Amino acid sequence: MKNVYRPIDAEILEVIDETPTIKTFVVEPKEDIGFATGQFMEVTVPGLGEAPFTPSSSPNVKEKIDFTIMSVGKVTEELHRMTKGQMVGVRGPMGKGYPLDAWKGKEILIVGGGVGAAPLRSLFLALVERLDDFKKILYCYGARTPADIVYKELILDKWQKINPKKIEIRTTVDEGDASWKGNVGVVTTVVKDLGIDISNSVGVVCGPPIMMKFGTFALVEHGYPDSAIHLSMEKNMSCGIGKCGHCMLGEYMVCQDGPVMTYDKVKDKPAIWD
């Protein structure tokens, strides 16, 4: 039988500096490992351990996978010391991703913050690659400072230019600097004047806990039904197969029942924003 605990080898092809604390690792898995956007994988640093990350690349690109990772713990600090040519392990994909097929014909509002941009980039690229299926994408993204903005495309209007009629990118920072010309304020300050038909729209929220909370509340205020708000309920997943208990949220094992979950499923669960 297949051993779900066994990672496959993946070679680091490229390391891209995104912010002072965030890098994107482009890896080439040595065996087939497809994923749906929003699903996560466990990445192994040999000799040290593994940690869960959601790929930031398009699910349609099979031969290489991007992981955008903040240096914050034991595994990620060591990852940040690794370079091109070194090997990591990947296992997965795990859990349930974004239900793109169910979103056909809809307008999509994405609210993201900080390193939450990683899974959202994968989602954005997946949406763009089948843009005919969707009416509109409005992507609101907030970072702490201009230096903390994870993907340059979010500042350079590059993503918007893919199709300016259908795509709108709004970027904001909590604190600007001398060169920042854009909006200053938390991400919810740009989640307004949406120009979206809420009755034919779905919302996506992904970011740090406090942003998830107020981002979700903003969508509720705009009239989004709870079942149309998709949250990335990231926890410290360990086994990834619904057994080890680390990611429990009420009766859910986020690694299997999520990580993407609609607000109606989790709103009555204990301490969801903690």
Nearest in space to 150 (alpha carbons), one of 189, 208, 86: 208
Binding residue (CB under 8 A) for another protein from 61, 147, 156, 244: 244
Which residue, 185 or 208, is less far from another protein as judged by CB? 208
217 DSSP assignment: H
11-19, 104-112, 222-230, 233-241 -> range binding another protein (CB under 8 A) = 233-241
Which residue, 78 or 168, is less far from another protein as judged by CB? 78
Binding residue (CB under 8 A) for another protein from 19, 37, 39, 44: 44
User: Any alpha helices (H) in 72-152, and if so which ranges?
Assistant: 74-81, 117-128
Pairing mode, strands 65-70 and 87-94: unpaired
Which residue, 87 or 131, is less far from another protein as judged by CB? 87
Quick one: tokens of 265? 């499923």
The helix (H) or strand (E) run that includes residue 229 is: strand 229-232
By CB under 8 A, residue 32 contacts another protein: no
101-109, 122-130, 150-158, 241-249 -> range binding another protein (CB under 8 A) = 241-249
Nearest in space to 224 (alpha carbons), one of 233, 237, 215, 234: 215
Nearest in space to 144 (alpha carbons), one of 272, 3, 21: 21
Which residue, 124 or 207, is less far from another protein as judged by CB? 207
Which residues make Cβ contacts (< 8 Å) with residue 60, sequence separation at least 6? Answer: 125, 126, 129
Binding residue (CB under 8 A) for another protein from 37, 39, 76, 262: 76
Q: What does the alpha-carbon distance between residue 96 and residue 47 come to, in Å, rounded to a whole number?
A: 29
Size of the site for another protein (CB under 8 A): 42
By CB under 8 A, residue 36 contacts another protein: no
By CB under 8 A, residue 200 contacts another protein: no
Q: Name the strands in the sheet holding 40-45, side by side, starting at the edge strand that comes first in the sequence.
A: 49-53, 40-45, 87-94, 8-17, 22-29, 65-70
By CB under 8 A, residue 81 contacts another protein: no
Binding residue (CB under 8 A) for another protein from 105, 164, 195, 270: 270
Binding residue (CB under 8 A) for another protein from 33, 36, 49, 144: 49
> Tokens 């729209």 correspond to what residue?
201
How far are the Cα atoms of 39, 182, 237 from residue 159, in angstroms, in the given order?
22, 16, 31
Which residue, 81 or 165, is less far from another protein as judged by CB? 81
Positions in 85-104 near another protein (CB under 8 A):
87
* 164 prior amide bond cis, ω within 30: no
Pattern of binders to another protein over 158-197, x per CB under 8 A? ----------------------------------------
Q: What does the alpha-carbon distance between residue 17 and residue 249 come to, in Å, rounded to a whole number?
A: 33
Binding site for another protein (CB under 8 A): 1-7, 9, 44, 46-51, 72-76, 87, 208-209, 235-236, 238-239, 241-246, 248, 250-251, 253, 256-257, 270-271, 274
